[in-house]
A and B are shown apart, each in its own frame.
Chain A
Amino acid sequence: MIDERVYEMFRDIGRDMYEHNLISSHGGNISVRFGDRILIKRRGAMLGRLKPHDIIETGLEKNDSGVALASTELIVHRAIYKATPALAVVHAHVRRAVALSLSRDEIVPIDNEGSYLLKKVPVVSVEFASGTKQMAETIADALKSYKIVMLRGHGSFSTGQTLDEAFQWTDALEEACEIIMYAKQLNEEMIEYRRMSDSYTKW
């Protein structure tokens, strides 16, 4: 039986992701780790309209009947939890970040908030970019050292102690990408305001 407070957390973050344009109607997925169990969004459920029965419980290591209902990306979420200290994972199809991921191997924010929170977001590539073992391993490995990473052409995966925290990195990335695009459109020389800014690429 899932605690009502846990459901409310899923519902609120899912709705916020949709309202912030971080996902399309059926895109994205979110999960939390409770010890050796995972609670994850139901496959095909709309993050913006989650009901209590849309939160599926299954094992972190072992399969059970829950896997028949869980998100397609369960394999990725499991790999992340096994490789990192994450207690929550947010996956979103962040539009601007996806656009930037098509032309660069890392996204380095230029705004203050993005620099402060994220420093640098690596972009990784896999041949089959949906629910595959290769994708799971690549993303989990990248998340050992970064709290959010981009899968080229697909979307972001972020981790946190709570869904709230993982959502924050996702939204911060999208905002940083929007600012990068605005600055690019202006096509003016940037006046650097950050000390040691060259070091962000080494983060």
Chain B
Amino acid sequence: MNGWLGKTLIVDLTTGSITHEPLNMELARQFIGGRGLGARLLWDLVGPDVEPLSPDNVIIIATGPMTATGFQTSNRFSVSMKSPLTGTVLDANSGGTWGMRFKRTGYDVMIIKGRASHPVYIEIKKGEAAIHDATHLWGMTVPEVSEHLGQDTNHRNVMCIGPAGEKLVRFAAIMNDLTRAAARGGPGAVMGSKNLKAVVVEGDIKVEFDNKEQFRFVQYEATKMLKANPITSQALPEFGTAVMMNLVNGIGALPTRNFQTSYFEQAEDISGEAITEQILVKNDACWACPIACTRVTKTSRREGEGPEYESAWSFGADCGISDLEAIAEANYLCNDLGLDTISAGSTIACAMELVEKGLIDSDLRFGRADLLCKTVGDIAYRRDLGDELAEGSARLAAKYGAPELSMSVKSLEMPAYDARGMQGQGLLFATSNRGGCHMRGNMLGLEVLGLPKLIDRFQVQGKASFVILHQNSASVADSLVACKFASNAVSDEYFARALSALTGVEYSTGDLIRTGERIWNMERIYNIREGFSREDDTLPPRLLTEPAAGGSAGEVSHLAPMLNEYYRGRGWDENGVPTVKKLKELGLEGMLQ
């Protein structure tokens, strides 16, 4: 077998049984791996009657055929489940080295079911899995448990949760290799609900290739693209993802103080340039990634990793904070405790606005950098007001009678792009299957960076087609499992050729994007089965009615006409339900009654 290893590991934590079975190759070819395969398996395993934090939810850990091949940026792993934050289908993926090492244990996929009676961890060595007691590890932070279980980048890799996952914080992350995170939508809480503290992997099984010479040629040509593109060869290595801060603020699309405005007057203080000049120690990279966008940084008090652009924004502009050290330390703490930095910062920003509007009695106001780390800790350990923030901004704002102040879509907090200044990005957030997210396709390339070419960011007509294409493309990347940053330079054509050479299954670029469309529709019908509908494909009212500032002054999101065009372009009916014809085209007929 080439690319895929052909094996699935199944661990039932309720019964303690460990079995394995052949990978369903028909599904693997149709859904590739990672996110796509995860969504398809989830359809069969977790129905609408299952509560996300109950033992009946599952964790599907899936690599892709490209994982562990050394193809640039394509060695990640994905986790799928029903989200405790959104109630939607969820996947989140992560880099580092863990994904490569897991695949080298000899499995493409691991399905974790049930709930252990006490804290446990799973260890996989030489293809054999075992469940061990983790009572002594419960309560440990991510660095503590990783060290205890022997994290060694070159040999033995630890994936785990921190206290936030144990406390079922709805946006808790699964962490691996100390600081890498599969974070959005609360996968760490599902792991915590199963009393599963960690999964440790050791392995050296190699992936086989159908045509290794051709694969390496495609890889060589992709390297040229990465080296020639200034985003991947200069901007990301030198400034990290936070290189976007000044660019996005410059066009008036940087959400500020819980999206009350779209321009942050102190953006330069929290920019990629500021991070590089003031706190950067060195770059780091995921396995087989030449971009090395990771920031190892140091404040006057401690060293850690980050902040990425989204984290610098969520704890910075969104909270009206420009103290870079406080932001970096809040990020370090999220890594230690296992929290999604976007939802953490955005939920704090929501709380700040609730306080300023007199709906919550607290000192947690915009600009209070001194309270940032304390609040992150309170969330992770569910202390005081933190216990309410741990439910996410949608539940928090609803509790205090102001649901419109949650800057979320389907209860997932939106990232650092203001829909009023990027019309396509707004449509993308509104229609994302896992909620407000920029990793489900991203219009940043087209609307800001000019990748592959610049389009007018205020244009409404025709925007849906771009969104659809990029959502389908991102579905493929998440299923290979590849990092989105490579897409800045390397087009889908390269991935299609590499995948064909690797697996021996012929994928044209068109086939690959059609596969992405199948995955997107698979997730859509999962959400429809869960009760989601057109009314959930929307944005917070603020973005539809309150004009933006700065370079996007006077603009609001024109979502309605774009959404109609989007449904037609997707081949869905006016309620956003895929038509029978569309599902048949994609091989999904009969799945949605």
Contact = CB atoms under 8 A, between A and B. Distances in A.
Given A36-B569, A162-B455, A196-B217, A6 B462 contact: yes
Interface in A62-89: 83-85, 87
B115 interface: no
Nearest to B492: A85
B569 A85 contact: no
B462 A116 contact: no
Interface string B444-481: 00100000110110011110111011001100000000
B456 A5 contact: yes
B214 A202 contact: yes
A34 B217 CA distance: 35
A2 interface: yes
B469 A161 contact: yes
Interface residues of A, number: 29
Interface in A134-182: 143-145, 147, 160-162, 164-165
Contact of A34 (B213, B492, B510, B569): B569
B580 to A, nearest CB: 15
B224 interface: yes
Given A36-B568, A116-B228, A203-B497, A145 B508 contact: yes
Contacts of A87: 465-466, 469
B462 to A, nearest CB: 4
B341 to A, nearest CB: 31
A144 B509 contact: yes
A137 to B, nearest CB: 14
Contacts of B228: 116
Nearest to B571: A36
A34 B464 contact: yes
A6 B181 CA distance: 41
Interface string B219-243: 0110010001000000000000000
From A32, A119, A161, A164, name the one whose CB has the most chain B CB atoms within 10 angstroms. A161
A33 interface: yes
Given A5-B459, A35-B565, A165-B453, A145 B465 contact: no
Contacts of A189: none
B513 interface: yes
Question: Is the contact region of chain B dominated by helix, strand, or loop, or is it mixed?
Answer: helix
Nearest to A199: B217
Given A85-B513, A199-B217, A35 B465 contact: yes
Contact of B568 (A35, A144, A162): A35
Contacts of B492: 85
Contact of A84 (B446, B464, B509, B570): B509
Given A5-B459, A84-B509, A165-B452, A195 B220 contact: yes
A116 B492 CA distance: 15
B315 interface: no
A86 to B, nearest CB: 9
Contacts of A165: 452-453
A119 B221 contact: yes
Contacts of B221: 119
A152 to B, nearest CB: 21
B422 to A, nearest CB: 15
Interface in A1-28: 2-3, 5-6
Contact of A83 (B214, B453, B473, B510): B510
A196 B220 contact: yes
A61 B565 CA distance: 15
Contact of B459 (A3, A164, A202): A3
B453 A162 contact: yes
Nearest to A8: B456
Most buried by A among B459, B469, B510, B566: B510
Nearest to B446: A161
Contacts of B570: 35
B509 A85 contact: yes
A98 B469 CA distance: 31
Given A116-B228, A202-B214, A3 B462 contact: yes
B423 to A, nearest CB: 12
Interface string B560-582: 00000110111100000000000
B493 interface: yes
A80 B213 CA distance: 31
B144 interface: no
B370 interface: no
A116 B461 CA distance: 33
A161 B568 contact: no
B441 to A, nearest CB: 12
A116 B489 CA distance: 12
Nearest to B500: A145
A32 B213 CA distance: 37
A116 B446 CA distance: 21
Contacts of A119: 221
B511 interface: yes
A144 B216 CA distance: 22
Interface string A192-203: 000110010011
Contacts of B460: 3
Interface string B90-127: 00000000000000000000000000000000000000
A85 to B, nearest CB: 4
B452 A35 contact: no
A94 to B, nearest CB: 20
Nearest to A166: B453
Given A34-B569, A199-B217, A203-B497, A85 B472 contact: yes
A34 B462 contact: yes
A116 B78 CA distance: 32
B452 A161 contact: yes
A82 B349 CA distance: 45
Given A5-B459, A161-B466, 17 more contacts: A6-B462, A34-B461, A34-B462, A35-B462, A35-B465, A35-B565, A35-B570, A84-B513, A85-B492, A85-B513, A87-B469, A144-B511, A145-B509, A160-B452, A161-B452, A161-B453, A195-B220
22 contacts: A6-B461, A34-B461, A34-B464, A35-B462, A35-B464, A83-B510, A84-B509, A84-B513, A85-B469, A85-B473, A116-B228, A144-B508, A144-B510, A144-B511, A145-B508, A147-B493, A160-B453, A161-B469, A164-B453, A165-B452, A196-B220, A199-B214
- Report, nearest first, the 7 A-B pairs whose CB atoms are least far apart: A35-B569, A144-B508, A85-B513, A144-B510, A199-B217, A34-B462, A164-B453
